[in-house]
């Protein structure tokens, strides 16, 4: 953070007046964290607002949070930590709002088998998080012969009844955001990017790519007012995709679907058939070391259940982990905002077992990449959830002192190796 009082990087080597302006690198770190979280909360609030939902308390917090990061307005460390926890609370509220808006518009998600690969005929691949964009595109492509595919964080769309009712929503293609350049090059149809995380396109597919909403790319046409006609026309001029089916994967384990299995789950835990639950999810990324999450899920013992969400799931969602007494061992709860569903399930299980969430046989092993992940982490801290394992590395914007506070109060730990972490958790 640049300090306008001593005109140096606050608290850095050039800062000569730390004692005067009081802005040190810990406050800068907390303010950076707050700004990142506000960006993540804003993304969820944007989607909720597009669906007609908003919350005045959340809206007010954008002003409060940003104001608190102004030059020479707040020098208090404790108050910054309180603001971060409040950001977590606001993010919980906005994830709840978005979940409700999705369910009201598109129905309660149901466990759904999704075909991976392509079908013969023209196609459009939709990436990002905006389910309303996908819905409008599905309406406008009805009867055109175009097949629509989900990519990345759009995969959970298949679980929503009002989206899967369209027979031309035929399946999922590709994996997480960092593989876009290769996957979009190989997908010969048209492509729509609705939100982050979208990459600057290669020339090889730039001319068949479109953006919508907040997403925008240089030299790529931008769809306005959800009028997808230019995208549809482009898809119809491109050579048809080949018939190339891949494996299948499951999604749609919204908290209402999981809680419908609550009696079975509780019985299986009491009978010792389910030993532990792992929430392995979050953002994927290109950084080496993320194969930790694949190996972790592969090595989870057979009497444990894995919950997942976000695009980190592509590291292992092709695995067939089987079932325990009819309960699937791998439950995809949805997009990163469906962390709300995971919280609902954990809270309901804690209530059923008469304990706190921290006392449940549940461990969180999260992967982070961008600002929504920061907001979700703060939500978990706001709820008092401890012992989170975070990777592939701890955020570089946390100073050693801030990290120490998080470790002392919440026991946040960096991931190590799958074997060592599983052993440490299960004992």
Interface residues toward ligand SF4, by CB under 6 A = 152-153, 176-177, 196-197, 283-284, 310-311, 336, 369-370, 372-373
34 versus 375: smaller Cβ distance to ligand SF4: 375
**β-bridge partners, 301:** none
147 versus 371: smaller Cβ distance to ligand SF4: 371
92 versus 373: smaller Cβ distance to ligand SF4: 373
**Shortest Å, Cβ 155 to ligand SF4:** 10
**Shortest Å, Cβ 323 to ligand SF4:** 26
**β-bridge partners, 304:** 276
Structure-block tokens of residue 402: 């801030």
231 versus 283: smaller Cβ distance to ligand SF4: 283
**Shortest Å, Cβ 325 to ligand SF4:** 31
- Residue showing tokens 């964009």: 133
**Shortest Å, Cβ 237 to ligand SF4:** 29
- Are 375 and 40 contacting, i.e. CB atoms less than 8 angstroms apart? yes
**Shortest Å, Cβ 158 to ligand SF4:** 16
Pairing of strands 2-3, 8-9: antiparallel
141 versus 194: smaller Cβ distance to ligand SF4: 194
**Shortest Å, Cβ 283 to ligand SF4:** 3
Structure-block tokens of residue 196: 């982050």
336 versus 406: smaller Cβ distance to ligand SF4: 336
- Are 296 and 276 contacting, i.e. CB atoms less than 8 angstroms apart? no
**Shortest Å, Cβ 27 to ligand SF4:** 27
Q: How far apart are CA 424 and CA 387, in angstroms?
A: 11
130 versus 153: smaller Cβ distance to ligand SF4: 153
Q: What is the dihedral of CA 329, 332, 337, 341, to 10 degrees?
A: -50
Structure-block tokens of residue 180: 């876009």
**Shortest Å, Cβ 354 to ligand SF4:** 33
Q: End-to-end distance of the chain based on CA atoms, in angstroms?
A: 42
Instruction: Compute how many other C-beta atoms are within 10 angstroms of the C-beta atom of residue 229.
Output: 9
**Shortest Å, Cβ 275 to ligand SF4:** 28
337 versus 399: smaller Cβ distance to ligand SF4: 337
**Shortest Å, Cβ 108 to ligand SF4:** 22
282 versus 328: smaller Cβ distance to ligand SF4: 282
10 versus 374: smaller Cβ distance to ligand SF4: 374
Structure-block tokens of residue 301: 């013992």
Q: How far apart are CA 138 and CA 144, in angstroms?
A: 10
Pairing of strands 112-118, 362-367: unpaired
b (16+ CB within 10 A) / e for 328-350:
bbbbbbbbbbbbbbbbbbbebbb
Fill in the DSSP letter of residue 11: T
226: left (phi over 0), alpha (psi -120 to 50) or beta: left
Q: How far apart are CA 91 and CA 382, in angstroms?
A: 10
Candidates 225, 258, 419; CA nearest to 327 is: 258
């Amino acid at each position: 953070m640049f300090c306008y009082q001593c005109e140096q990087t606050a608290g850095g080597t050039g800062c000569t007046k730390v004692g005067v302006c009081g802005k040190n690198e810990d406050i800068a770190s907390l303010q950076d964290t707050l700004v990142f979280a506000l960006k993540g909360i804003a993304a969820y609030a944007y989607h909720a607002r597009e669906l007609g939902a908003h919350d005045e308390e959340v809206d007010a917090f954008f002003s409060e949070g940003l104001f608190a990061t102004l030059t020479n307005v707040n020098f208090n460390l404790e108050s910054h930590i309180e603001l971060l926890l409040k950001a977590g609370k606001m993010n919980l509220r906005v994830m709840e709002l978005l979940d409700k808006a999705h369910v009201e518009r598109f129905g309660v998600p149901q466990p759904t088998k999704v075909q991976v690969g392509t079908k013969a005929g023209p196609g459009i691949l939709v990436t990002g998080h905006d389910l309303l964009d996908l819905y409008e595109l599905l309406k406008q492509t009805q009867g055109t012969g175009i097949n629509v595919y989900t990519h990345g964080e759009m995969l959970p769309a298949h679980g929503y009844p009002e989206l899967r009712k369209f027979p031309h929503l035929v399946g999922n293609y590709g994996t997480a955001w960092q593989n876009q350049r290769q996957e979009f090059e190989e997908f010969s149809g048209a492509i729509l990017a609705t939100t982050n995380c979208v990459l600057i396109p290669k020339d090889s597919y730039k001319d068949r790519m479109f953006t919508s909403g907040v997403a925008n790319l240089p030299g790529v046409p931008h769809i306005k007012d959800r009028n997808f006609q230019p995208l549809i026309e482009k898809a119809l001029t491109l050579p048809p995709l080949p018939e190339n089916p891949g494996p299948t994967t499951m999604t749609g384990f919204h908290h209402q679907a999981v809680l419908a299995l609550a009696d079975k789950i509780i019985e299986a835990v009491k009978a010792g058939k389910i030993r532990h639950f792992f929430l392995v999810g979050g953002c994927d990324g290109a950084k080496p070391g993320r194969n930790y999450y694949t190996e972790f899920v592969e090595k989870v013992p057979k009497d444990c259940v894995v919950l997942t969400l976000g695009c980190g799931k592509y590291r292992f969602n092709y695995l067939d982990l089987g079932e325990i007494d009819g309960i699937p061992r791998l439950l995809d709860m949805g997009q990163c905002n469906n962390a709300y569903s995971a919280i609902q399930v954990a809270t309901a299980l804690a209530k059923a077992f008469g304990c706190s969430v921290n006392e449940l046989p549940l461990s969180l092993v999260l992967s982070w990449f961008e600002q929504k992940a920061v907001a979700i982490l703060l939500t978990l801290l706001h709820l008092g959830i401890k012992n989170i394992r975070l990777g592939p590395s701890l955020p570089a914007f946390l100073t050693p002192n801030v990290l120490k506070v998080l470790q002392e109060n919440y026991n946040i730990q960096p991931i190590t190796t799958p074997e060592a972490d599983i052993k440490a958790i299960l004992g």
